Amino acid sequence: MRALVLEKKGELSLRDIALPLDVGPDDVRIAIHTVGVCGSDVHYYTHGAIGSYVVRAPMVLGHEASGTVVEIGANVRTLKVGDRVCMEPGVPNMSSRATKLGIYNVDPDVTFWATPPVHGVLAPYAVHPAAFTYRLPDNVSFAEGAMVEPFAIGMQAAARARIVPGDVAVVVGCGPIGIMIALAALAGGCSRVFISDFSAPKLKIAAQYPGIVPVNIGEQSLVDAIRVATDGWGADIVFEASGNPKAFANLFDIVRPGGAVVLVGLPVEPVDINVPAAISKEVRIETVFRYANIFDRALQLIASGKVDLNPLITGTYAFGDSIEAFERAASARPDDVKLQILMSGEEG
């Protein structure tokens, strides 16, 4: 099949590559329709590695996807040919201790699309377990279906935060995941969510949503803004979604005593954390790595109409222009949030 292949760091090509398409008894084969360009895909393109995951051989990119079922395995009863679906890209070892504990997102044996050495799905077809394939409701488009995966990270972050209705939250970083965390936090019961960044265009997009308050940290101090907004008390929850080492310096100045800091952004290098500041406030620290047992909930919330992700889609490319899409994503244009690649040539 013709696929978008990361040959090595900094080199992409659209070419034929042999990919496994045998459908097992519990699998489905999917004609891929829409694939989102994720920051991790871009990082593999620009850096060739994320932590211990290193691109050592050509790899097909893409893991945020939707499509149509074209073949089902003998044991599949939950799906049928013609169903529009989205797919949870990480498949755990179902007998692992992590999976049995319900934390399959941290299963060391998980196979995750477009994570070396596992191929992604920027190709015409993919085979996937039916258990990790979800039917799209009629009112959810393919484009929205391909947004369920990143939104699930926001949902995981909101769940880890243990939101209490009325909480005030702060999200540091107004990228795609940052905005989705803000939306998930509002859906989870937060009364207000402040979101900070240097990018005025991204903050403007986030500010379209009622309940999200933008803070341009190029113009004002986030610590001061939250101090004023909370009468000096601090935010109930602070989500770190930028991965920028500098952002960790004042996290515990923003959060209230007894509040929570949720770490979502993944720094490339180790960072310093002010442990005395955290201890003096008895701050609860949570971490987020992908998601577990929440993908279907993310889809249901989108289908309910309570969360509209369409304003976050700032560019759509044909499959033949995939390399151009990645070059644009790597350039980090300030007005871009989420780029998508249309495999079929038809929207819907």
The pTM of the full predicted model, rounded to 2 decimals, is 0.95
pLDDT value of position 231 = 98
Inter-axis angle of helices 39-47 and 322-331, to 10 degrees? 90
Is there a cis peptide before residue 117, judged by omega within 30 degrees of 0?
Answer: yes
Q: Which amino acid is at 19?
A: L
Q: What is the pLDDT of residues 65-92, one digit of tens each?
A: 999 999 999 999 999 999 999 999 999 9
Could you tell me which of 2, 264, 3, 265 has the C-alpha nearest to residue 113? Answer: 3
DSSP-based three-state secondary structure for 63: coil
Q: What is the pLDDT of residue 341?
A: 98
pLDDT value for 348: 47
* Residues 162, 240: Cα–Cα separation, whole Å: 15
* All domains of the chain in start order, with CATH: 2-147+309-342 (3.90.180.10), 153-287 (3.40.50.720)
CA distance 173 to 196: 6
**E strands of the chain, at which residues?**
2-8, 11-16, 27-36, 49-50, 53-54, 59-60, 64-72, 84-87, 90-91, 111-112, 125-129, 133-135, 168-172, 192-197, 212-216, 235-240, 255-263, 284-287, 313-318, 338-342
pLDDT at 94: 92
Pick from 225, 236, 230: nearest CA to 190: 236
> Which positions of the chain have pLDDT values less than 70?
345-348
